[in-house]
Amino acid sequence: MAVLSCVKPGAKTGQTILLVDLTTSGESDVVMTTLQRLGYEPEIRHVSYKSGVHVLAVLKDVQHDVIPDDYLIDEWMQLRSELNPDAVHLWCGN
């Protein structure tokens, strides 16, 4: 299942986050315009990694008691087809 390859350590148990890393996505103006065209209203967050500070456009950040295996996979795949796929992340806490 695709969600298994997208698990990000640090997401809280039951939390699912769909985001675009603006630091690695290419031109952020174009990315933000694309996200708005797709109906998203991103929340901008900064995250400090060992490689440096990254700017994230968080599209969804939800908490569930039980996360369905395919939750947000369709949106994740659509975003990967429209943007730099390496910048689109779906993090799920188990």
Task: Kindly give the confidence (pLDDT) of every residue in the chain, 94 residues in length, as a single tens digit, with 9 standing for 90 and above.
Answer: 344 344 444 578 888 899 999 999 989 899 999 999 999 999 998 887 788 888 889 999 988 887 777 889 999 999 999 999 999 999 887 7
Compute the residue count for the chain: 94
Please give the pLDDT value at position 67: 74
Please give the pLDDT value at position 2: 44
Bridge partner residues of 61 (DSSP): 17
Domain count, the chain: 1
Range of the domain at 19: 2-92
> How far is residue 11's CA from residue 31's CA, in Å, rounded to a whole number?
24
Question: Pseudo-torsion of CA 87, 90, 93, 94, nearest 10°?
Answer: -130
Please give the pLDDT value at position 65: 84
Identify the CATH number of the domain in which residue 29 sits.
3.30.70
